[in-house]
Amino acid sequence: MINAKKLYNSMFSDERITSLIPAENILNSYPNEIENFPCIVFVDENQSNSEYNENKPGASLCVLMVHIYSKKLDGFVSTSEVAVKVAEVFNDELWNCSQNREVSDPDPNAEHRVMVFEKSIFNN
């Protein structure tokens, strides 16, 4: 297993993302309520052993769910714009994006997009 939170934190501190979302609005756990927009919440969905060799795992399969929130109001970045930058950062590190979808929100002025990334990270 690896320290995935450390890896994720470094990726979300990339300037391409922080130029759109303030660093203090990038959270590694779900708050009780989203209060500051735009916002990213990333959740470590799964870390499992993978890539077995001689009955020993050689990698950790990491699955990360990314929630992007914004407002459909002037002056707010769209979740699609943020998703493009998040995808760029993860694609540069060879992560696979297995989901990228808009999710309905009860607030008619809110946007919510969900992305899921996967990658096998090999043990050193």
Domain boundaries, the chain: 4-122
- Confidence (pLDDT) at 120: 84
- Confidence (pLDDT) at 5: 82
Block means of pLDDT (10 residues each) for the chain, 124 residues, are 80 96 95 93 80 65 94 95 98 96 93 95 69
Residue 19 token pair: 């130029």
- Confidence (pLDDT) at 122: 72
- Confidence (pLDDT) at 121: 80
Q: What is the CATH number of domain 4-122?
A: 3.30.70
The answer to whether residues 5 and 28 touch, using CB atoms and an 8 Å cutoff, is yes
How is 25-51 classified by DSSP, letter by letter? GEESS--SS--SSSEEEEEEEEEEEEE
